A = this chain, B = another copy of it.
Amino acid sequence: RYEPLLSEKSSETVSTEDGPLPDDLTRDSLTLPDVSEPELARHYTRLSQTNYGVESGPFPLGSCTMKYNPSFTEDLAASPDAAVHPDQPTETTQGTLELLYRLQDYLGRIGGMDAVSLQPPAGAAGEFAGILVAKAYHEHNGEDRSEVLIPESAHGTNFASAAMAGYDVVSLAGDDDGRVDLDALEAAVGEETAALMLTNPNTLGLFERDIEAIAEIVHDAGGLLYYDGANLNALLGRARPGDMGFDVMHYNVHKTFATPHGGGGPGAGPIGVTDELAPFLPAPRVAESGGGYEYVDPDRSMGKVHGFYGNWPVLLKAYAYIARLGDAGLADASAKAVLNANYLAEQIDYEIPFGPFHHEFVASAGEQDAADVAKRMLDYGVHPPTTKWPEIVPEALMTEPTEAESRRTLDQLAAAFDAVAGESDETLASAPESTAARRIDQVRAAREPRLSWQSLDE
């Protein structure tokens, strides 16, 4: 089932001479694949057949929330009315602005935040924007704080985003129960503390029960509390970051609001803030004005994190999802996500050291290599969990079935887990055997990088 590269099918070199430009302004020629539409259709159809999506089967990737992506939101995003140029005057794009305004409003209500910016084009961009908001706030207050505190078990993006914003990162060890260690926090916090970034429930699926105490400690030191929205799917309608004391947060719309992951993107990472931080949000935001909508630049905006207004089609899909589900649907989505995680955990043999967890749990592969367990699970026709992270659980199998799975599918997943749990290291090491590609030599791929078809000839 090997599908040749486009370049291996047919390639053509076209001269750019005799065109409308003088030769010294043009390239000499262009060489690219040259295939007909029927060949193109087969090429990508076949490629798709070796790719696994949410509609292919269960996809219990912890922290990634691979929930079902409703088809109707794609239709709406493809609507000609949604195809607007960003420089069109706002009086002619009232529909677009109204939708963005409504989404700002809905997200604010869902997160318990006073003001929302939709500009960040992904979760990490939301972190970067949110931290820059915090930085602008501190600077406006004449404070030059240099550190961002981040629990050891947090998403890697937290660390990278804080660093990109120019902060020193202080990593916080957790307590024995897998949560923030208040003593360690007290010890780390201080006048250099710009913010603490926290996911809640955390990456073990545990709710940070001491969140109010945490907020108090950080706030007392003059720091801000940043909420990483990656796990918001656990809490919809049950708890809101704003009510817990968070000052800034980002939403991962492809995790919480069912926009498709697209093989890695696009996402969108709106941020929400308290009133106090609203003047520092990215420019512009949508405001209501005399029955219509307009863009306004926040007074002390931190600037921009996207050349235009962010990932509009993704935001549109997220709005449609929220408008479809409403209060009852959103709360039910979280309830079923948590029920599914707990039910699945109940069925599998691997040990789960921490709990009570919510929408995801982290099992330990014990003596087995978690990465090998994942490869072997592919042979059972299911997607494996996230592996080897967070490191607090040895050989972690970070599992999040989402609300979309039926009991029947959860039972199948459990059967796959348990079958692999009983297999030998040799079997695991040689897995997968039933996939389009067998185990791939990643070490060599990195040692001898070949990143284009041009490099294959070398």
Chain A residues in contact with chain B, CB under 8 A?
Answer: 1, 9-10, 36-39, 41-42, 45-46, 49, 54-57, 68, 70-71, 381, 404-406, 408
Q: Which of B9, B56, B404, B408 contacts A9 (CB 8 A)?
A: B408
Contact call A45/B39, Cβ cutoff below 8 A? no
What are 26 of the A-B contact pairs (CB < 8 Å)? Answer: A1-B381, A9-B406, A9-B408, A10-B406, A10-B408, A36-B404, A36-B406, A37-B68, A37-B70, A37-B71, A38-B54, A38-B55, A38-B68, A38-B404, A38-B405, A39-B406, A41-B55, A41-B68, A41-B71, A42-B55, A42-B56, A42-B57, A45-B55, A45-B56, A46-B56, A49-B49
Distance of A42 Cα from B412 Cα, bound (Å): 15
Q: A9-B406, A38-B405, A42-B55 are in contact. List 9 more A-B contacts (CB 8 A).
A: A1-B381, A36-B406, A38-B54, A38-B55, A38-B404, A41-B55, A41-B68, A42-B56, A45-B56
Distance of A70 Cα from B40 Cα, bound (Å): 11
- Return chain B residues, CB-CB under 8 Å to A54: 38
Distance of A406 Cα from B9 Cα, bound (Å): 10
- 5 tightest A-B contacts by CB? A38-B68, A45-B55, A38-B404, A41-B55, A42-B55
Distance of A404 Cα from B41 Cα, bound (Å): 11
Which interface residue of A42, A46, A54 has the most chain B CB atoms within 10 A? A42
A3 CB, min distance to chain B CBs, angstroms:
11
Distance of A55 Cα from B381 Cα, bound (Å): 24
Which interface residue of A1, A38, A70, A71 has the most chain B CB atoms within 10 A? A38
A138 CB, min distance to chain B CBs, angstroms:
44
Dominant SS among interface residues on chain A: loop
Distance of A304 Cα from B136 Cα, bound (Å): 76
A255 CB, min distance to chain B CBs, angstroms:
16
- Return chain B residues, CB-CB under 8 Å to A406: 9-10, 36, 39
Distance of A408 Cα from B294 Cα, bound (Å): 57
A297 CB, min distance to chain B CBs, angstroms:
38
A147 CB, min distance to chain B CBs, angstroms:
43
Chain B residue nearest to A4 in the complex (CB): B408
Which interface residue of A46, A55, A68, A408 has the most chain B CB atoms within 10 A? A55
- Return chain B residues, CB-CB under 8 Å to A71: 37, 41
A79 CB, min distance to chain B CBs, angstroms:
10
Chain B residue nearest to A403 in the complex (CB): B38
A443 CB, min distance to chain B CBs, angstroms:
32
- Return chain B residues, CB-CB under 8 Å to A45: 55-56
A346 CB, min distance to chain B CBs, angstroms:
21
- Return chain B residues, CB-CB under 8 Å to A381: 1
Distance of A412 Cα from B56 Cα, bound (Å): 29
- Return chain B residues, CB-CB under 8 Å to A68: 37-38, 41
Distance of A45 Cα from B39 Cα, bound (Å): 22
Distance of A49 Cα from B436 Cα, bound (Å): 14
A331 CB, min distance to chain B CBs, angstroms:
17
A73 CB, min distance to chain B CBs, angstroms:
12
Distance of A68 Cα from B38 Cα, bound (Å): 6
- Return chain B residues, CB-CB under 8 Å to A55: 38, 41-42, 45
- Return chain B residues, CB-CB under 8 Å to A41: 55, 68, 71
- Return chain B residues, CB-CB under 8 Å to A9: 406, 408
Distance of A404 Cα from B37 Cα, bound (Å): 9
A407 CB, min distance to chain B CBs, angstroms:
10
Chain B residue nearest to A44 in the complex (CB): B55
A128 CB, min distance to chain B CBs, angstroms:
33
Distance of A93 Cα from B55 Cα, bound (Å): 39
Distance of A209 Cα from B46 Cα, bound (Å): 43
A7 CB, min distance to chain B CBs, angstroms:
14
Chain B residue nearest to A45 in the complex (CB): B55
A239 CB, min distance to chain B CBs, angstroms:
26
Distance of A408 Cα from B36 Cα, bound (Å): 13
A35 CB, min distance to chain B CBs, angstroms:
8
Chain B residue nearest to A67 in the complex (CB): B38
- Return chain B residues, CB-CB under 8 Å to A70: 37
- Return chain B residues, CB-CB under 8 Å to A49: 49
- Return chain B residues, CB-CB under 8 Å to A405: 38
A237 CB, min distance to chain B CBs, angstroms:
20
- Return chain B residues, CB-CB under 8 Å to A37: 68, 70-71
